[in-house]
Structure 1
């Protein structure tokens, strides 16, 4: 019979726990992750469309524009978390995400972070009722989105 000390048992339990955690990470359900991130991007896209359509009105509803900008601002900090390893083209699941997201993670994270302040500025301008400022800022926000799409999204 093998006798293990309390310290050895603790170490063994830790190693087993780490192994299980690693297996859980390795078993990412790529399809579910991709569907979730696509749903989040569609939410952002609907909000952006509502903002741009709203700003075309003679008297834009700045409260609605601010609400949609808040949706984008709320999702923006999460964007880089929607791309765990194993959910790219190699997963075999259809995705518009380019491999560069995983081969250039620092570049992708930097591009994703640029969305946050631009969305916050748009929300603040809309809440202040600044139609001209919001119109200019929505172009800046769109440019930020496009910059990321150009490098990290399949056309």
Structure 2
């Protein structure tokens, strides 16, 4: 990776960390079942978009489709932007209502841990953006793995099997 790309990456990571800290919020309980259902639907929309973008990256990392640095950068940018929305779309604690969800109540009970996991995703996606800009296939695949690892870590702690 060139020095300029590395400097830009470090700056982007610093900015991303600041954004995550600024967007972290404390959860508030849903005021009604209707509110809980709507909050769940919106939250699930963010995670579906994350999965959609991650799916393409995973396929590239596994060699199932050709690696394309432009697509990697686009999807990594989307993942980074979505990561900054997770705190907002999980701020409504829906755990007291019978809503169809795979989210565990730990999302709201362990808010600091959850917010740290969001920050890890933001940083990993920022690193992937920089790797895509370098057009270094090895760095790109490693950075895709880093994003995948953060996704999996959060799934292990906060999502039903």
Mark yes or no: TM-score above 0.5. yes
Q: Are residues 54 and 91 of structure 1, via their aligned partners in 2, closer, same or farther at CA, if it must alter by over 3 Å?
A: same
Which residue of structure 1 lines up, in the alignment, with residue 74 of structure 2?
Answer: 67
Query: What is the rounded CA distance, in whole Å, between the counterparts of 1:76 and 1:115 in structure 2?
Result: 6
Higher RCO (CA-CA < 8 Å; seq separation 6+):
2
Cα RMSD for the two superposed structures:
1.8
Higher gyration radius (CA): 1
Determine which of 37, 54, 61 is the counterpart of 2:60: 54
The aligned counterpart of 1:14 is: none
Structure 1 position 40 matched with structure 2 position 46 = yes
Map 1:61-140 onto structure 2 (within 5 A). Answer: 61-88=68-95, 90-140=96-146
Q: How many residues align?
A: 130
- Output one character per residue of 1:74-107: Cα deviation in whole Å (capped at 9) or x when no partner: 111221222234322x221111111111111111
Return the alpha-carbon distance in structure 2 between the equivalents of residues 70 and 58 of structure 1: 20
TM-score, with structure 1 as normaliser: 0.76
Aligned counterpart for 1:26 among listed residues 8, 28, 31: 31
**Structure-2 separation of matches of 1:58 and 1:45:** 17
Gaps of 5+ in 1: 1-24
Q: TM-score, normalised by structure 2?
A: 0.74
